[in-house]
Amino acid sequence: MNTTKQLAIFLGLTWLISWPLWILSGVLGRGSAATYDFQWWIAQLGVFAPSLSAVILSGFSSKVRRNNSLRLLLLFFCILAVGIQIASSASHSVEEFPLLTSGLVLTMALVSLIYFSPSNHFLLNPATGEPQRKGNTKWVLLATFGLPVAFFLCWLPAGNSGSGWSISSLDAGWPGFLELFILNFCRNLNYGGSMGEELGWRGYCLPLLLRNSTPLQASVILGFIQALWHLPIDLTSSNMPLFAVFSRLVWAIPVTFIFTWIYLRSPANLLTALLLHTSVNVLPDIGFSNYDGTMPVFVLIVIVLAIFVGRTPIMQAGNTTLAHSKVR
């Protein structure tokens, strides 16, 4: 099957799964207030559409990848089963999670991190069927802390809300902050988009795009695809839907440059993609003062970083290892 047809089927299946589930769940009309109930759980099924599509399509390619897909589907089943436990509590925040629910979220996140470790040779790239290669620890650290540190440096000049700088999750002291941060990080890893998206975007779509494009070109296309996928959310979550769509594009394309650059340097390690995605999604949960006022500065810094990494040789090369991996 040619690359264009593979991409078309992947995107069609992703849209077909996610958009109807988001609409039917009713969460699109609830605004930004989070309630971890069964409506949220149904919407989570839609969030998993990119990864589910990648795993399903990969499984039809060969026996080797079929077994890989079955193992990943089992992992997804366990994650979504724990999601039912979360939904049964109908909590408004992770602080309200019952002890059992918090324990299951932490355990499931640990299982996911171990499974996506490069040491797990049973995990294969959905697009190529190749095992992950050993990566350098510095790329894992950069994926986990790079963008949060950049956000913090933006927050220092922009985070003053009129009454000074504050971080609400620090109200309970450092032990309480660490407990809350770890729980939010684990929740975001499996239920904030990271696990549901990255096997699709970086694990399947990017390798296909790299067959005929440089990483720079592939990042522009993938950023646009990701922004378009969020369309129902952006059109219903803002009083200025067109501005929300435009803002998504302004954010998605440059940040995808950074994702691609770190992912290829890792090299092609799905764990770094998961950690990078989670490190960005957890930022609103920390409770930074004037978060909305800091975001425009952060986006500007991300654009500058994107221009920098976009000029590196690995982003402009037309013969990346990932693009020419032997397909199994």
- Return the amino acid letter for 156: L
Most distant pair of Cα atoms in the chain: their distance: 61
Residue spans of the domains in the chain: they are 3-316
Q: Which residues of the chain have pLDDT under 70?
A: 31-33, 318-328
Residue 15: partners with Cβ closer than 8 Å, 6 or more residues away = 49, 229
The reported pLDDT for the residue numbered 323 is 56
The reported pLDDT for the residue numbered 319 is 62
Cis peptide before 254 (omega within 30 of 0): no
Query: Tens digits of per-residue pLDDT, 30-60?
Result: 766 678 999 999 999 999 999 999 999 999 9
The two tokens of residue 18 are 């996610």
The two tokens of residue 245 are 């769509």
| Integer Cα distance of 64 and 72 in angstroms | 13
Among 310, 306, 275, which residue's Cα sits nearest to residue 137? 275
The reported pLDDT for the residue numbered 136 is 80
| Integer Cα distance of 180 and 285 in angstroms | 9
Q: Which residues pair with 124 in a beta bridge?
A: 131
The reported pLDDT for the residue numbered 28 is 87
The reported pLDDT for the residue numbered 328 is 61
Residue 302: partners with Cβ closer than 8 Å, 6 or more residues away = 147, 150, 251, 254, 255, 258
CA distances from 11 to 191, 201, 236, 250, 321 (A): 21, 10, 22, 21, 24
Among 149, 152, 139, 148, which residue's Cα sits nearest to residue 261? 139
E strands, 89-205, are: none
Secondary structure element (H or E) that encloses residue 316, with its range: helix 313-316
The reported pLDDT for the residue numbered 135 is 75
